[in-house]
Amino acid sequence: MNTEKRNYIGLVVIAVTLTSFLWACSTVPITGRRQFTLIPESELMAMSFTQYSQFLQESKLSTNKEQTALVKNVGTRISVAVEKYFADKGLSNQLANFQWEFNLIEDDTPNAWCMPGGKVVFYTGILPITKDEHGIAVVMGHEIAHAVAKHGSERMSQQLGVQFGAVALSAILAEKPQETQNLYMMAYGATSQMALILPYSRTHEYEADRLGLIFMAMAGYDPSAAVDFWSRMAALSGRGSSMAFLSTHPSDEARIRNLQKVLPEAMSYYQPATR
């Protein structure tokens, strides 16, 4: 192959790569951060809804009607507020495939998570730490923020790149469904093997903290409750408590300082709910 032809092929490869990169880039709402995601939303939602349904079938729903209603009510209020905000900004298409669902699982593990499409699970073990609906709103807002900001898709995309390199995404999805499924489970934590969960980056965590405060404030919950909640989490962690929630959600002085820094922004969205 002569030099001119090699150069031509090289330029074509670069052009295709750049086109793919631009196609896969999106912007996180409010923060404006650019992110790189490879997973088609249709594929992600299909995996999410299937796994969420399977998880509920294999788990024990809480029989405490009051606690269950509280989790569902807080989740509904925040999701409605988020959808209204996105609609007002002309961004409803970003939530078009969301099918919000909120469930409380009977499990002593202090944990909560949200899958793509707004599929949320709280464990009863985290309720003594949240204490009240404002504490629940802190956790709910944070987890919903991860889903809205597509952090899990980012994690999966990064791992796909690490594990499969330049293999086409369509080939990975078609020929390696089990590997893709394993990455999904690791990215979203819908597994009892907590050690296998891919950790969120510091960027993701701080972004979810910021967005979570704003989302709960939009719904009429006092965002200052976040400082108290994370202080309680940090205290438990400091006493050597084994907490699954902290395996992917670091709680320390730096986080609390960051919360205090973004609190004024969140307060600008806060209007106490009228009863």
Q: Which active-site residues does the annotation give?
A: 143
Contacts of 113 (CB under 8 A, 6+ apart): 120, 121, 143, 188, 189, 190
Buried-state track 158-190, b at ≥16 Cβ within 10 A, e below 16: bbbeeebeeeebeebeeebeeebeebbbbbbbb
Beta carbons of 151 and 190 less than 8 angstroms apart: no
Degrees, nearest 5: CA angle 259-260-266: 75
Place of tokens 């300082």: 257
**Antiparallel, parallel or unpaired: β 119-123 and 25-27:** unpaired
φ, ψ for residue 156 (rounded to 5)?
-65, -40
